[in-house]
Amino acid sequence: MSLLGSSRFESVQRWHAKLKAKSGGRDTSTQRVWDHYLGIFCEKVAKKSPDELIEERRQHLKSDDELVRRQHEELVTKFILELQGQGAPPNTVNTAVTGIRSFYSANYLPLTTIETPRGIAVRSVRIPTPGDLKAVCEVAEPMIKAYVLCAKDSGMSISDMLRLNLDWESPLYGSLKQQLIEGRTPLHLHVVREKTAISFNTFFGPDAIQSLKEWEPPSKRLFSCTDKTIRNRLRHASQKAKLSYVLQSHSLRKYFSTYLKLAGVNEALVEHWQGHSLGAVRGAYFFPQTEEAVLPRIEEMGKIYMQAYGSIAVLRST
C-alpha cells in the first residue's frame, strides 16, 4: 500500500498536512520512511486501511474494557515483533513505531506507552591522520604518548589496553618484558578480549616499542590508571596539540583499521588483530587448528604486519 501523497484517506491527509506544517511545507525523507512503515502496518498487521484504523480506534476508546481500549497498542507490539523477526535492528524498529505513533497523534487518538527496543547509538568517530597523532605525541606526557602509540599500533580497545602488563605472555616469544629486552620487533601479544572473550593476536610496532622504552612503566601494568583518566588526558593533549577535535581511544582503533586496510592488508586479518569476531566460516579459514594448514601463523602475521607498518607509523617511516 503506497500512502505517500495519497488523497484517498482522510486520516493520511491530516497527518501529512501536520508533518508538512512542521517542515515548512516540504515532504521530508522522514515522512517518506514513516509512510512506508504505516503502509506495512496497515497491510500486514492491522489488515485495515488508515481511515478504518482511526475509526476503530475511536470506537475502542469509548469502551469500559481496558483490553478493548488498548487493542491498537497491542497491534503495534505485534508489529514490533514482526520487524524484529525479520532482523530489523532496534533503531529501525524505533523509527517505524515513532511514525505510527505520529499518525495516531495527528488524528487526535494518541497511543499510550509502548515498549520499544533500546536503540543503538551511532558513534561518530573522527579518524586521525598521522600528523594529528604526531602532534599529540609531541605535547603529551610520557604515559599518554605511550598509550596513543601502543593503541594505534595494536588496534586494541581501551579495556584490553588497561589490562596489559610486562608479564603478559606470548606463547611463542615469552613475556612483553622479555621481548623488549631481546629487542624483538614487532612485539607479539596474545589476548582474550575482555568484552567478548574472543581470542586474538596483535602486535606492538616500532613506535610503541620506542615509547615504552622511553617511558619505562613504573609498575608491571603498562597503564596504571582508569579509562576515565585516559579519556581526560587524551582530551587535554588534543587541546594542547590544537586539534580541531578530541582524540578518543576508539579513534585509535579506527586509525589502525582504516590505514592498514587502505594499505591492502586483508580485511579479515585486520579484524582479527583488533579482536573482532570473524564468524565461524572466516575464522576457520584464516585460523584453523590443523597443523597442515598453510595459512597465517603468528610469525607470518608478524611479517605481514611489518610490511604494512609504514601505513600506520607516526614517529618514523619504515
Which of these, 134, 298, 119, lies nearest to 211 by C-alpha position?
134
| Residue 266, φ and ψ in degrees, nearest 5 | -55, 130
3-state secondary structure (DSSP) of residue 231: helix
Sequence-distant (≥ 6) Cβ neighbours of residue 271 within 8 angstroms: 257, 278
Distance (Å, rounded) from C-alpha 162 to C-alpha 150? 11
Question: Quick check: 79 and 121 in contact, CB under 8 A?
Answer: no
Residue 242 is predicted with a pLDDT of: 95
Query: What does CATH list as the number for 130-311?
Result: 1.10.443.10
Q: What are the boundaries of each domain within the chain?
A: 10-106, 130-311
The Cα 228–Cα 243 span in angstroms is 20
Q: How far apart are CA 134 and CA 145, in angstroms?
A: 9
**Helices 267-274 and 249-262: angle between axes, nearest 10 degrees:** 160
Q: What are phi and psi of 200, to 5 degrees?
A: -150, 165
pLDDT tens across 161-172, in order?
Answer: 999 999 999 988
Cell of 135: 602532534
Q: H-helix or E-strand containing 203?
A: strand 199-204
In this prediction, residue 104 carries a pLDDT of 95
Task: Give the pLDDT score at 222.
Answer: 95
Spell out the residues 6+ positions from residue 287 whose beta carbon is closer than 8 angstroms to its own.
272, 278, 295, 296
Using only the alpha carbons of the chain, give its radius of gyration: 28
pLDDT below 50 — which residues of the chain? Answer: 1-2, 4-5, 122, 281-282, 284-285, 290-295, 317-318
Q: Which of left, alpha, beta for 193 (phi over 0: left; psi -120 to 50: alpha)?
A: beta
Provide the b/e sequence for 289-317 (b: ≥16 CB within 10 Å).
Answer: eeeeeeebeeeebbebbeebbebbbbbee
CA nearest 203: which of 267, 159, 269, 143? 269
